[in-house]
Amino acid sequence: MGPRMAIIGLTCAAPAAATAATLPIDGTYGNASGCVHARTSNYGEDDSVRLITPDRLETMVTACSFDSVDPVPGGYRVGMTCASEGEGPEENHPDKAEITGDARSGYTVRFADGSSWEPLTKC
C-alpha cells in the first residue's frame, strides 16, 4: 500500500467529530437575571439565572449542551449533556427537556423530571 492509500485508510478509520445540535431560535432568551448575565457575563448574587441559546441551557450552577433537537407538536424535544459547577467531566449526565413556545410569547422549558421554567423572553 502506498503513502496515499495509507492516509486515506487512516482518514476513514478516524472517528467522526461530534457535532452539537442547534435549536432554531433567533438569539438568547432568559428570565430577568438571565438576561443581565447574558449582557454582563456576571452572575452576581442572583442564583435564579435561566438562559436558553440555540445550543444550550444555562443556570448559575448548571450548563447543558444540546445533543439532539427533534421537532414535536408545538416545540422541540432536546437531549442534552449537563455539567454542574464544581464537578469534573466524569460527573456530566444526560437529560431531556421539551421546549415550547415562540419568540413572541417566550419559550417554556419542561424537564424530564417534571420541573419547568417560566417562559423565557428575548434578551
**Which pLDDT band, with edges at 50, 70 and 90, does 19 fall under?**
low
Q: Is 56 part of any domain?
A: yes
Lowest mean pLDDT among 9-13, 30-34, 87-91: 9-13
CA distances from 15 to 31, 85, 101 (A): 39, 29, 36
**Please, what sign has the CA dihedral across residues 14, 67, 20, 23?**
positive
**Per-residue three-class SS string for 26-71:** CCCEECHHHHHHHHHCCCCCCCCCEEEECCEEEECCEEEEEEEEEE
Domain count, the chain: 1
In whole angstroms, what is the distance from residue 75 CA to residue 109 CA? 10
Residue 91 cell numbers, joined: 460527573
Query: What is the domain range of residue 101?
Result: 18-122
Q: Does residue 21 register a pLDDT over 70?
A: yes
Q: Is 8 part of any domain?
A: no
Q: What is the pLDDT of residue 5?
A: 35
Q: Is 118 part of any domain?
A: yes
Q: Is 3 part of any domain?
A: no
Its pTM stands at 0.78
Q: Which residue has the higher pLDDT, 49 or 20?
A: 49
Question: What is the three-class DSSP state of 16?
Answer: coil
Q: Is 101 part of any domain?
A: yes
Q: Is 6 part of any domain?
A: no
Q: Is 9 part of any domain?
A: no
Q: Which residue has the higher pLDDT, 8 or 38?
A: 38
Q: Is 45 part of any domain?
A: yes
Element (H, E) at 118: strand 116-122
